[in-house]
Amino acid sequence: MLQQLVMDSAGAAVGVFLGVLIGLGMRKRKGNTEGLLADSVLLTASAAAGLALLVMMAFRYFLN
């Protein structure tokens, strides 16, 4: 059941990861590093994707 929830929710997590990676990468190039975890775009994007995955899994679990 958990495996199915992860597979169903992975698309949202990948989308969030790519969006945050592109957005924060452009922002860091301009010199604005405020709000990054450990001054790392990759770490911040991974954290955002992990949170998105958990939220989508919760939505799918409780709304189905």
Instruction: Encode pLDDT of 9-18 as tens digits.
Output: 999 999 999 9
Closest CA to 47 of 23, 16, 26, 22: 16
Residue type, 45: A
Instruction: Encode pLDDT of 19-48 as tens digits.
Output: 999 999 999 999 998 989 999 999 999 999
User: C-alpha 12: how far from its chain's center?
Assistant: 8
Percent of residues in the chain assigned helix, strand, coil, to nearest 5: 80, 5, 15
Contact between 48 and 24 (Cβ < 8 Å): no
